[in-house]
Amino acid sequence: MTKLKVPVSSEDHVQGPETAEVTLVEYGDYECSHCALAYPIMKRIQQHFGKRIRFVFRNFPLTESHPNAEAAAETAEFAGAHGKFWEMHDLLYENQPRLSGALLLELARKLQLTPAALSQALEDGQFTAHVRADFSGGVRSGVNGTPTFFINGYRHDGAFDFADLLQAIDEAIGTTSSSARG
Amino acid sequence: MDVSPVSKNDSPVQEDSGLLAPGTQAPDFTLPFAPHQALSLSELRGKPVILAFYPADWSPTCGDQIGLYNEVLPEFQKFGAELLGISVDSPWSHKAYTEARDLHFRLLSDFEPKGAVAKQYGAYRSANGFTERALFVIGKDGIITWNYLSPISVNPGADGILEALENLPK
């Protein structure tokens, strides 16, 4: 089984308590249509498991095929630096069909962030290293496309519809409650 | 990987997978990468080489193996490694595919005699008439140091390649 090489840390964007029974890590790309399909499914999964789940999102922009993916990822990181990562993450997926440089500025404005500061950050590549580090860690962990999920540190190779993920997470919870966590 | 030691002078030794085993001298070959250009493996002696045999051009996109390698190329280049894709598609197909996907590495055409190089590396599927999804990492000295045979429909990713590059003698 393919294992996550980079453990969840304070560098990550996390929703849910540290004490959660299950940690679900997604490697995603804001311009990837499959990731946009996964987005509402993640919401349902989080709703279903409540405090029993911790959700982590890491960047895996496929920049060769998705021209806006890198800037979108850096925009989410910019918002994160102002405490609004998840708000931006959600807006990016909800508005994916309109993804463009102009949309990024519009979304920044919507979240009361300064569009000029975002432009500057993108131009200076302030968050490029962070996004690259996510990407490298993903490649080393066996991420071979987007979205890729890890459940309690193991890559989920099945489908990512609600029923499949639900079952995989239930199984992971079963494993952790019946044996020592490793 | 569990491999019995072989000396450099032995004839090619194969593992259970059928692929040429680590420790084997990588057989040299000359294949076209464009309609009027060819490359010999021996030209790349002195730098690590990644050979990625894959079944066919034009497989579905969004997270496919060739697309992923195009993204991960800078990570391979950190090791000074050269990535070569190999399939039985013609040079004209490779040219169109490379342009359509904006690929930044060379695709070699094992077209005539069909699959001859893949056969030498134990990476040909006679039943299907195309190459396996098989990976090799070759050291600076031309010796195979790692191989991997992936199920034909599974993207093998890049993690194994990166680990093999890390493990090369410095």
> For residue B62, what pLDDT is reported?
47
> For residue B170, what pLDDT is reported?
77
Considering only the beta carbons, identify the residue of B63, B71, B159 that sits closest to A140.
B159
pLDDT digits 0-9 by tens, B44-96: 999 999 999 999 998 765 458 999 999 999 999 999 999 999 999 999 999 99
Q: Strand order of the sheet with strand B106-109?
A: B106-109, B82-87, B49-53, B133-138, B144-150
If one counts every other C-beta atom within 10 angstroms of the C-beta of residue A57, the result is: 23
> For residue A68, what pLDDT is reported?
97
Q: What is the dihedral of CA B104, B105, B111, B116, to 10 degrees?
A: -170
pLDDT digits 0-9 by tens, B97-106: 999 989 999 9
pTM above 0.90, yes or no: no
Number of structural domains (chain A) is: 1
Residues of A with CB under 8 A from a CB of B: 2, 5, 32-34, 62-65, 135-136, 139-146
Q: Reply yes or no on whether the pLDDT at A39 is more than 90.
A: yes
Tokens of B29: 């070959």
User: Among all residues of chain B, which has the CA nearest to that of A157?
Assistant: B154
CATH class of B31-166: alpha beta
> For residue B1, what pLDDT is reported?
39
Q: Is residue A29 part of a domain?
A: yes
| B59 touching A (Cβ < 8 Å) | no
Contact yes or no for B64 and A2 at CB 8 A:
no
Q: Is residue A5 part of a domain?
A: no
If one counts every other C-beta atom within 10 angstroms of the C-beta of residue A89, the result is: 23
Considering only the beta carbons, identify the residue of A62, A135, A141 that sits closest to B159.
A141
**Active-site residue, from B16, B36, B62, B126:** B62
SS3 of A151, please?
Answer: strand
Q: Is residue A9 part of a domain?
A: no
Considering only the beta carbons, identify the residue of B65, B70, B75 that sits closest to A64.
B70
pLDDT digits 0-9 by tens, A41-89: 999 999 999 999 999 999 999 998 899 999 999 999 999 999 999 999 9
User: Among all residues of chain B, which has the CA nearest to that of A62?
Assistant: B71
Backbone angles phi, psi at B158, to 5 degrees: -120, -5
Q: Is residue A8 part of a domain?
A: no
Residue A181's pLDDT band (boundaries 50, 70, 90)? Answer: very low
ipTM of the complex: 0.77
Domain, as residue range, for A41:
21-174
Q: Is residue A140 part of a domain?
A: yes
> For residue B60, what pLDDT is reported?
63
Name the average pLDDT for chain B. Answer: 89
Residues of A in contact with B153 (CB under 8 A): none
CB A41 within 8 A of CB A158: no
Q: Is residue A4 part of a domain?
A: no
Secondary structure of chain B as H, E, C letters: CCCCCCCCCCCCCECCCCCECCCCECCCCEEEEECCEEEEHHHHCCCCEEEEECCCCCCCCCCCHHHHHHHHHHHHHCCCCEEEEEECCCHHHHHHHHHHHCCCCEEEECCCCCCHHHHHCCCEECCCCEECEEEEEECCCCEEEEEEEECCCCCCCCHHHHHHHHCCCC
Q: Is residue A154 part of a domain?
A: yes
Q: What is the CATH number of the domain that holds A36?
A: 3.40.30.10
B167 is catalytic: no
Q: Is residue A145 part of a domain?
A: yes
